[in-house]
Amino acid sequence: MPFVQSVLTRAIETPERIALADDQGQYITYGELLSSSRTTASRLQQVARETPDSPHQDLAGYPVVALCLHDALTTVRLFAELSMGPVVLSVLNPRDWHDQLWGNISSAGITVVVTDDQTFSQYLRTHGFPGTVLGPQLLLAPDVDPKDTTVLQDADPYLVLFSSGTTGQPKAFIKTRGEYRANYRASHQRLQVAGHTTLAPGTLSYSLILYAVVEALGAGETCVVTGRAHFRHMTAAFTHWPITRVVAAPAVLLGILEAAGNQTERLGNLQVLVTGGSAVPQALRDRVAEKVPRAKLINYFGTGEIGFIADSTPDPCGISYSNRLRLYDHVTAQVRDTTNRVLAENCLGQLWFRAPSASARYLNSPAQLSDEFGWRTVGDWGMVQDRWIQLAGRGDEIVTTGANTISLVEADDRLAQALGPLVTGATATVGLPDPRLGVIIAGVIETPQAPTKSELVALARDNIPEPFRPRRWYSIARFPRTSSEKIQRRRLTQLIDEGKAHRL
């Protein structure tokens, strides 16, 4: 793995250097991480010998371990230590419904579940889980003689990850060690991890957060985890540690600003903010610039399945955009129509990529991920020009209203910019059926006390072009979100249809 050599080097040269920490001030050093890693892996191998193989042929012969723990520091410690041996790992969100966790475990072929939740342990046993369930203390016990000397190869499976679930049930896929190493090379060059103490706030089941741990360990730096993206945890993290870099979903940036309040000196050490998962609206960029003007904001586009694809490197004029991104050198892109025909540059269509970090297929879904020529897609739409890509969202986020085909992702951005002076909470757009126009745009505001409709209409009329302008307005107490804080647009539309959002 990318971080094995750096852990060895740090453990020998500066064993007291902190590798992993949490928002409560607890930590583990590089020396401690190395000394316990082989013992942890050996104990797992003992457990694995008594556990049936995964039903998936690609995973046969490997212990496939799911970490489902409430304690974030224990999670990343076990993740790092087990990564140094011949193990396939997955990290699950312990706050998900048990039925959802059981579905992920079954579909991904998990053979060992490590959990600190006795209720979930019992749930697995009563539902006939054929593998082994154990607590983290059994893996961390220091009384096993480490004997494993397996040489790890690029082709070995390393992680079982899941798609975000923004457009349906999460889909499982494998990342090999070689694919993850290719991912690390890209981020190490572009996402400025070296020399920083990184905060990765949020659930470790989210690949963006988990990968921030890999990045930091690969650079021999410190990564602070919280397990949740709540402002209380982030405030505590800034209190305990001299954080200079944050990796988070764009929605979490608002939480970071809330954590600071008027006391922006708490953020005074920040130099780099790295976001991924969705576009950063310009209005939010402006707030970040106001609160932490010294911090550089890098928004990248990537998927768990494909890896890092592009980021918001400024164009030749020094301008960066919220959804116009520069492709990484190792990535090739093309756009296709719904018949799979390759389109010319500047045409809107489905984005396909080739990258050494890309996974081959889904484990539990017939959904297409790759073609016979090695191109991959996850269903995102956009345009390509001179190695710049303009993102438009997933296929169901492209709507036709009247004679105009527009992207709801772009409509989101325009709405946030227009309402910035009036609305401090999150906003979103959805497409609703209309007998005359086919689809109309509706604006939705996440707030218990929305502005008046007349105020919203006036701002939209003056600041949003006609095709993107909402014709209806709703407020909702809280947007439905994935564990990675992405707004679930499909579920939001359902809530409106069910009358669970307030029409203004």
* End-of-domain residue from the set 260, 282, 304: 282
- What band does 249 get if pLDDT is binned at 50, 70 and 90? confident
For residue 207, give the H/E element and its range: helix 207-218
- In percent, how much of the chain has pLDDT > 70? 92
Range of the domain at 446: 402-503
Which of 266, 282, 298 is the last residue in one of the domains? 282
The reported pLDDT for the residue numbered 283 is: 63
* pLDDT for the residue 451: 84
pLDDT band at 1 (very low <50, low <70, confident <90, very high): low
Q: How far apart are CA 391 and CA 136, in angstroms?
A: 41
Q: What is the pLDDT of residue 70?
A: 95
- Maximum Cα interatomic distance, the chain, rounded to a whole number of Å: 73
Three-state secondary structure string covering 142-185: CCCCCCCCCCCCCCCEEEEEECCCCCCCCCEEEEEHHHHHHHHH
Asked if residue 167 has pLDDT above 60, the reply is: no
Q: Does some domain include residue 88? A: yes
| Lowest mean pLDDT segment, chosen from 25-34, 114-123, 144-153, 241-250 | 144-153
Compute the Cα dihedral for 204, 209, 211, 215 and give only its sign. negative
Q: pLDDT, tens digit, for every residue of 92-104?
A: 999 989 999 999 9
Per-residue pLDDT tens digits for 345-399: 989 899 999 999 999 888 877 777 888 888 999 888 899 998 999 888 877 788 8
How many angstroms separate the CA atoms of 65 and 40, rounded? 13
Please report the pLDDT score of residue 144 as a whole number: 47
The rounded distance, in Å, linking the Cα atoms of 205 and 387 is: 31
Q: How far apart are CA 52 and CA 123, in angstroms?
A: 19
The predicted structure's pLDDT at residue 3: 82
**Residue (of 70, 63, 27, 31) closest to 44 by Cα position:** 63
Cβ neighbour number for residue 265 with a 10 Å cutoff: 9
The answer on 269 and 120 residing in a single domain is yes
Per the document, the length of the chain is 504
**For 286, phi and psi rounded to 5 degrees?**
-65, -40
Report if residue 477 sits inside a domain: yes
Q: Is residue 363 part of a domain?
A: no
Per-residue model confidence (pLDDT) at position 420: 77
* Matching residue, tokens 């896929």: 173
DSSP annotation string for 236-291: HHHHHS---EEEE-HHHHHHHHHHHTT-GGGGTT--EEEE-SS---HHHHHHHHHH
Q: What is the mean pLDDT of the chain?
A: 86
Condensed to tens digits (0 to 9), the pLDDT of residues 105-129 reads 999 999 999 999 999 999 999 999 9
Average pLDDT (335-342) is 92
Question: What one-letter code names the amino acid at 479?
Answer: F
What CATH number did the domain enclosing 473 receive? 3.30.300.30
Same-domain status, 24 and 156 = yes
Q: How many domains does the chain have?
A: 2
Q: Is residue 154 part of a domain?
A: yes
* 388 lies in some domain: no
Q: For 129-145, what is the mean pLDDT?
A: 78
Structure-derived torsion over alpha carbons of residues 423, 425, 426, 431, reported in degrees to the nearest 10 = -50
Strands 438-446 and 472-476: parallel
Query: Which of 56, 83, 78, 75 is closest to 152 using CA atoms?
Result: 83
- The tens digit of pLDDT for each residue in 373-387 reads 889 998 888 999 989
